[in-house]
């Protein structure tokens, strides 16, 4: 960072002369060897490529590289640069361990085919193989069933407020079906009427429970009695009375035990009502355990988020519908927190609360009260939070069960507060009775394993569950009704399974077909082993094998037989060796030891293309084009590149290229924001921010959208949580989807408004105009500033330092230092233009202390930059720099090396193609994959092999540059 002024400065003529000399020197270097491929060090598979290749080999996302060390960046900042790839003894050990683990997932079939499973699967005889297959199929099937019914129950609850009340309504309709004019209706007919997607088997079971005449435990008997008291249909259709009584029954059931339709215990319930508790933004439902066995209640109420007309708050202790014996509660913490963070005792802020029901006794800052209890107090306007921690008294309250509520409305009853958690100490007999009621109901429903009928084997002629030997058939645990195998149809299974599970399901089916009727294990002779190992190696090494390589695999198998426990183990050792060969671990290109560029072989070109676009191995279509030689034709190469760029596997361009280029890689595990200052920054929000960026670039690349959408997009990818964080309405549900942005003056859209980037460029407690400005210059514009001097004073960790100076004032003082001025006058105004985004990417008009946000800066030329819209305009005027940087980074990523001066003609042509083609991605892609740099290589060991002529440097005049 040189001083802006110096006693000796070059004259204008000398400046022009130096610039002309540099331009001539650069032109000479470019013309000496234009489009030279340069020497590229053979790259090793990085951990992402390793996992992707294993995925494409096996069809399963095994995460075999989970324990591998992460590779550092090289070249243009990417992890696929061979110069940075070392091979340590520790890494070799990890490769050996991973190879064995991968091969353990293979099932060797009698025809030599390898079928792969999500868990290690090894068996020595057909019966054991059948058992393992049946066990895995059964496990998958249970997952699918539970997933399907979980979705159905969630849908019922979402639409009707409860997952069980619709079953009670339907059971009432079935009971009175004759009066309703449907005397022949079946459970299936009534279930089909809804509300929601009801399971007819579960409806039948609920009807049996609710119509029983046998004595039941107290809680269930109350439910049965109240349901049987529901009014029957009348000619007048007295629906109001029916709904009122059903609603009361629902409220009662929520508190005594919340169950799902199968009678299983639900650990979480809906709250009494929405209230502004800390962590919810804005006021949202807070979930609490139905039975809090620690006997402890803790909450933080955000007073500023209460309804606007709220003048009074109530603290209530309810009896939980079992009397007040033992219901003694101690409020160990009852305090307010002011906007400046100071905590004040409750009694200091509210000296005279009103005890409307019951009495409380104060002991210093501690309040002790017995249910039923209700205290009302005015909401203090100068306080920000109400802090509450309450516990059952360990002596007087050890046998108590209570409900605690803090709310702006007065509860109608303290005998039972509807939909509020019950609290008891562990071991409390009442708590045990509470749980036993649910267990009894579940037993009556007998529904853990009652599902829709079907047969997953219907699409596989000749297969039937009875085909499995007895050893392969699951047996019920004590007291449990056996889930009959394969109760979903294959179509239903496919609806509920992930892509990886679908692959495993198909693999299991193929294995069953192959094994059917087999009485003996496959003949593991030498020919069989060589055939199996060679077929696997050809896929793993991503090329056809040479005859000598087939022979070496045979030799390896023979050597393994000497130490292996069986021929199959010897074959598995051979397969493991394939996965630790350099031909698997490295992207091998055979050298000709040539200092002159030469064409890559078609197979080498196919591998370079697939690792560029997919970070993985070529598929069958690409290898076919390589083997028939057509891939070397430019038009075929372009067509293959476009096909692959549109494939789902091209998401690697988003995660491995765009993420490292724009520095949002690994954001899904980013934990820098201070969790006390920003409790909203939860893992789910962090994941959504990361996915927003990944999906944005995945969409851009795969759909050939304009590259400058990174600046001008009027859309982004959101789910409900992230949309709420951004202040965008109308987005519901957890799924990420493309959302057209409202007209907010350019606040969001493109990378400038992405939470991942805004958070990554902030400090734990505050924003960082320096980091954000540096990100814009380095990552987006490609115009980095020099590193700072060693003795630069640090800025404060928070928005103000110990002297009370704001960040803007600190940086103004910083710029007064001549050693810092030249860089900070470029960095700071760009970063300050983004100050309306807080440290976790939310839009703000005011700072935490209430001061207006200062989003203004002055550029070196005197131009004022104020706010995100002005910044967007500033960057729009510099689109050439953004496109040039994009081309540079994309080329460096594709070639696995740093960009050189001899790449300038290619970069210029790519940039021009983008500008004339609406900046759509494929315009640059076409030129890059057909360029000499991509299609050729050179083996020179010294860059001096490239003749570079330079112009003579002008001699400076005496005393003009040096005193």
Domain ranges of the chain: 126-146+451-515, 164-256, 268-428, 648-756, 761-877
What pLDDT score was predicted for residue 28? 73
What pLDDT score was predicted for residue 437? 61
What span, in angstroms and rounded, lies between the C-alpha atoms of 316 and 421? 13
What span, in angstroms and rounded, lies between the C-alpha atoms of 505 and 146? 17
What span, in angstroms and rounded, lies between the C-alpha atoms of 284 and 788? 46
* 195: preceding bond cis by omega (within 30 degrees): yes
Where is mean pLDDT largest: 236-245, 590-599, 859-868?
859-868
Residue 317, SS3 per DSSP: strand
What pLDDT score was predicted for residue 155? 54
Band of the pLDDT at 481, cuts 50, 70, 90? very low
- What phi, psi does 848 have (nearest 5°)? -60, -30
Residue partners of 76: CB distance under 8 A and separation at least 6: 888, 889, 891, 892, 893, 898, 899
Q: Tell me: pLDDT of 516 over 70.
A: no
What pLDDT score was predicted for residue 741? 92
Average pLDDT, the chain: 79
- 851, 809 contact by CB (below 8 A): no
What pLDDT score was predicted for residue 466? 36
Q: Tell me: pLDDT of 593 over 60.
A: yes
What span, in angstroms and rounded, lies between the C-alpha atoms of 294 and 275? 23
| Burial track 397-406 (b if 16+ CB lie within 10 A, e otherwise) | bebbbbbbbb
Which among 831, 780, 747 is positioned nearest to 663, based on CA atoms?
780
What span, in angstroms and rounded, lies between the C-alpha atoms of 399 and 475? 41
What is the DSSP annotation of 648-678? GGGHHIIIIIIHHHTT-TTGGG---S-TTT-
What pLDDT score was predicted for residue 273? 34
Tell me the per-residue pLDDT of 605-616, one tens digit each, with 9 for 90 and over. Answer: 999 999 999 999
What span, in angstroms and rounded, lies between the C-alpha atoms of 461 and 515? 14
What pLDDT score was predicted for residue 341? 79
For tokens 């200062």, name the residue: 854
What pLDDT score was predicted for residue 863? 87
What span, in angstroms and rounded, lies between the C-alpha atoms of 596 and 460? 58
Q: Regarding predicted confidence, which is higher, 17 or 702?
A: 702
Residue 589, SS3 per DSSP: coil
Tell me the per-residue pLDDT of 355-390, one tens digit each, with 9 for 90 and over. Answer: 999 888 888 778 999 999 999 999 998 898 888 888
- Judged by average pLDDT, the poorest of 361-375, 595-609, 732-746 is 732-746
**What is the C-alpha radius of gyration for the chain, rounded to an integer number of angstroms?**
35
Tell me the per-residue pLDDT of 440-478, one tens digit each, with 9 for 90 and over. Answer: 665 666 543 333 333 333 333 333 333 333 444 444 333
Where is mean pLDDT largest: 174-178, 248-252, 575-579, 767-771?
575-579
Which among 1, 30, 27 is positioned nearest to 901, based on CA atoms?
30
Q: Regarding predicted confidence, which is higher, 419 or 222?
A: 222
Has this prediction a pTM greater than 0.75?
no
Where is mean pLDDT largest: 22-36, 144-158, 417-431, 623-637?
623-637
What pLDDT score was predicted for residue 464? 36
- The pairing of beta strand 422-424 with beta strand 291-292: parallel
- What phi, psi does 921 have (nearest 5°)? -55, -40
Kindly state the average pLDDT of the residues 535-564.
95
Q: Tell me: pLDDT of 188 over 60.
A: yes
Band of the pLDDT at 419, cuts 50, 70, 90? low
Tell me the per-residue pLDDT of 225-235, one tens digit each, with 9 for 90 and over. Answer: 888 888 888 75
What pLDDT score was predicted for residue 445? 60
Q: Regarding predicted confidence, which is higher, 447 or 171?
A: 171
- Report CA 294 to chain centroid distance, whole Å: 32
DSSP assigned state of 632: G
Q: Tell me: pLDDT of 928 over 80.
A: yes
Largest CA distance in the chain: 113
Where is mean pLDDT largest: 362-366, 420-424, 888-892?
888-892
What span, in angstroms and rounded, lies between the C-alpha atoms of 669 and 651? 19
Q: Regarding predicted confidence, which is higher, 345 or 489?
A: 345
Q: Regarding predicted confidence, which is higher, 878 or 508?
A: 878
Q: Regarding predicted confidence, which is higher, 793 or 610?
A: 610
Q: What is the dihedral of CA 694, 697, 703, 706, to 10 degrees?
A: 160
Band of the pLDDT at 919, cuts 50, 70, 90? very high
Tell me the per-residue pLDDT of 318-364, one tens digit each, with 9 for 90 and over. Answer: 887 777 788 899 998 899 998 887 889 998 999 889 999 988 888 87
What span, in angstroms and rounded, lies between the C-alpha atoms of 146 and 134? 18
Alpha helices in 176-281 (DSSP H): 187-192, 200-210, 218-228, 239-256
Band of the pLDDT at 680, cuts 50, 70, 90? very high
Band of the pLDDT at 709, cuts 50, 70, 90? very high
What span, in angstroms and rounded, lies between the C-alpha atoms of 847 and 944? 57
What pLDDT score was predicted for residue 198? 73
Tell me the per-residue pLDDT of 56-103, one tens digit each, with 9 for 90 and over. Answer: 999 888 899 989 998 888 999 999 999 999 999 999 999 999 999 999
Band of the pLDDT at 195, cuts 50, 70, 90? low
What span, in angstroms and rounded, lies between the C-alpha atoms of 124 and 137? 19
Q: Regarding predicted confidence, which is higher, 750 or 441?
A: 750
Q: Tell me: pLDDT of 628 over 50.
A: yes
Residue partners of 614: CB distance under 8 A and separation at least 6: 52, 644, 647, 649, 650, 652
Q: Regarding predicted confidence, which is higher, 477 or 708?
A: 708
């Amino acid at each position: 960072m040189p001083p802006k002024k110096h006693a000796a400065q070059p004259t204008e003529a000398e400046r022009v002369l130096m610039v002309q000399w540099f331009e001539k020197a650069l032109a000479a270097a470019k013309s000496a060897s234009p489009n030279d491929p340069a020497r590229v060090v053979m790259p090793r598979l990085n951990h992402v490529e390793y996992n992707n290749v294993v995925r494409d080999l096996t069809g399963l996302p095994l995460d075999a590289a989970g324990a591998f060390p992460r590779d550092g960046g090289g070249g243009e900042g990417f992890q696929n640069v061979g110069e940075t790839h070392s091979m340590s003894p520790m890494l070799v050990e990890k490769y050996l361990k991973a190879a064995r683990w991968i091969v353990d997932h293979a099932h060797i079939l009698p025809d030599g085919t390898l079928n792969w499973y999500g868990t290690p699967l090894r068996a020595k005889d057909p019966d054991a193989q059948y058992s393992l297959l049946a066990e895995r199929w059964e496990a998958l099937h249970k997952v699918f069933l539970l997933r399907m019914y979980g979705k159905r129950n969630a849908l019922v609850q979402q639409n009707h407020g409860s997952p069980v009340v619709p079953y009670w309504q339907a059971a009432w309709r079935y009971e009175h079906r004759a009066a309703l004019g449907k005397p022949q209706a079946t459970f299936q007919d009534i279930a089909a009427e809804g509300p929601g997607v009801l399971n007819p088997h579960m409806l039948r079971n609920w009807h049996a429970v609710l119509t029983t005449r046998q004595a039941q435990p107290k809680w269930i008997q109350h439910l049965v009695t109240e349901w049987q008291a529901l009014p029957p249909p009348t000619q007048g259709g007295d629906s109001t009375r029916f709904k009122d009584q059903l609603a009361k029954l629902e409220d009662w059931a929520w508190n005594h035990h919340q169950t799902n339709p199968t009678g299983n215990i639900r650990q979480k319930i809906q709250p009494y009502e929405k209230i502004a508790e800390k962590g919810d933004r804005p006021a949202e439902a807070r979930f609490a355990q139905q039975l809090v066995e620690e006997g402890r209640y803790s909450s933080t109420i955000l007073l500023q988020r209460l309804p606007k007309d709220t003048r009074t708050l109530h603290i209530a202790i309810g009896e939980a519908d079992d009397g007040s014996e033992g219901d003694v509660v101690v409020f160990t913490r009852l305090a307010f927190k002011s906007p400046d963070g100071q905590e004040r005792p409750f009694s200091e802020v509210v000296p005279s609360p009103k005890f409307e029901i019951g009495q409380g006794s104060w002991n210093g800052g501690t309040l002790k009260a017995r249910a039923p209890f209700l205290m009302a107090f005015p909401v203090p306007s100068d306080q920000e939070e109400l802090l509450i921690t309450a516990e059952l008294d360990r002596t007087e309250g050890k046998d108590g069960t209570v409900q605690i509520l803090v709310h702006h409305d007065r509860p109608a009853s303290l005998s039972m507060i509807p939909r509020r958690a019950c609290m008891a100490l562990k071991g409390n007999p009442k708590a045990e009775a509470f749980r036993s009621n649910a267990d009894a109901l579940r037993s009556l429903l007998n529904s853990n394993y009652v599902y829709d009928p079907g047969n997953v084997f219907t699409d596989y002629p000749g297969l039937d569950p009875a085909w499995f030997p007895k050893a392969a058939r699951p047996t019920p645990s004590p007291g449990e009704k056996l889930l009959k195998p394969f109760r979903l149809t294959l179509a239903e299974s496919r609806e509920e399974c992930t892509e990886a599970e679908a692959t495993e399901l198909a693999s299991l089916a193929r294995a069953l077909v192959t094994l059917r009727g087999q009485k003996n294990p496959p003949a593991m002779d030498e020919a069989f082993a060589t055939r199996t190992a060679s077929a696997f190696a050809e896929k793993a090494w991503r090329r056809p094998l040479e005859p000598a390589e087939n022979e070496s695999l045979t030799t390896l198998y023979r050597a393994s037989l000497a130490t292996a426990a069986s021929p199959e183990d010897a074959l598995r050792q051979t397969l493991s060796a394939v996965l630790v060969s350099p031909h698997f671990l490295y992207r091998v290109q055979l050298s000709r030891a040539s200092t002159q560029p030469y064409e890559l072989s078609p197979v080498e070109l196919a591998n370079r293309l697939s690792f560029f676009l997919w970070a993985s191995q070529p598929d069958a279509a690409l290898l076919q084009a390589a083997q028939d030689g057509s891939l070397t034709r430019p038009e075929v190469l372009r067509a293959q590149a476009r096909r692959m760029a549109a494939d789902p596997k091209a998401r690697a361009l988003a995660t491995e290229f765009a993420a490292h280029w724009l520095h949002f890689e690994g954001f899904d595990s980013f934990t820098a924001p201070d969790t006390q200052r920003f409790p909203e920054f939860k893992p789910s929000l962090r994941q959504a921010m990361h996915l927003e960026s990944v999906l944005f670039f995945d969409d851009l690349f795969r759909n050939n959208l304009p590259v400058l959408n990174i600046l001008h997009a009027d859309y982004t990818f959101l789910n409900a949580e992230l949309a709420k964080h951004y202040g965008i309405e109308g987005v519901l549900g957890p799924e990420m989807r493309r959302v057209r942005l409202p007209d907010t003056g350019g606040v969001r859209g493109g990378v400038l408004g992405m939470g991942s980037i805004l958070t990554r460029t902030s400090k734990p407690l505050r924003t960082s105009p320096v980091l954000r400005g540096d990100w814009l210059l380095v990552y987006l514009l490609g115009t980095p500033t020099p590193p700072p001097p060693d003795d630069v004073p640090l800025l404060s960790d928070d928005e103000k330092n110990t002297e009370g100076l704001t960040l803007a004032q600190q940086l103004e003082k910083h710029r007064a230092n001549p050693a810092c001025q030249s860089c900070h006058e470029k960095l700071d105004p760009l970063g300050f233009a983004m100050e309306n985004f807080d440290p976790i990417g939310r839009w703000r008009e005011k700072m935490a202390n209430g001061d207006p946000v200062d989003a203004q800066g002055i550029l070196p030329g005197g131009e004022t930059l104020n706010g995100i819209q002005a910044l967007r305009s500033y960057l729009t005027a510099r689109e050439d720099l953004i496109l040039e940087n994009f081309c540079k980074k994309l080329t460096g990523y594709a070639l696995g090396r740093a960009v050189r001066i001899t790449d300038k003609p290619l970069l210029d042509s790519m940039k021009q193609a983008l500008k004339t083609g609406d900046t759509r991605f494929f315009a640059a892609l076409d030129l890059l994959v057909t360029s000499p740099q991509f299609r050729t290589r050179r083996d020179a060991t010294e860059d001096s092999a490239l003749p570079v002529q330079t112009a003579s440097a002008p001699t400076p005049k005496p005393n003009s540059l040096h005193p």
